[in-house]
Amino acid sequence: MSSHPLLKVDISQLSIAERIQLAEDLWDSILEQQEELPLSEAQQQELNRRLENYKKNPANGSSWEEVKKRLGFC
């Protein structure tokens, strides 16, 4: 890792915990302005399709724990 021109610190000098916090802070700052990142029409249609499928068949989905197990994260 190296320093980013917008940051006044060499990221590689941060502890892992500090880098994780930095990533969380960055993501939170994006979420605060998420309306500035509109979905494309195709993305909105796909989300609507998935939401309708869920409303029709809520038992067909998988829990986050099941997904993690399938992917080998547990």
Ordered by start, the domain boundaries in the chain are 11-71
Residue 35 — pLDDT band, cuts 50, 70, 90? Answer: confident
* 66 φ, ψ (degrees, to nearest 5): -65, -40
What pTM does this model have?
Answer: 0.47
Q: Write out pLDDT tens, residues 41-64.
A: 999 999 999 999 999 998 898 889
Q: How far apart are CA 58 and CA 53, in angstroms?
A: 8
Label residue 22 exposed, middle or buried (CB < 10 Å: 0-12, 13-18, 19+). Answer: middle
Q: Give, as one character, the DSSP assignment of residue 9.
A: S
Query: What is the per-residue pLDDT for 38?
Result: 86
- Is residue 2 within 8 A of residue 10, CB to CB? The reply is yes
Query: What is the per-residue pLDDT for 9?
Result: 80
Q: How far apart are CA 38 and CA 60, in angstroms?
A: 29
Residue 67 — pLDDT band, cuts 50, 70, 90? Answer: very high
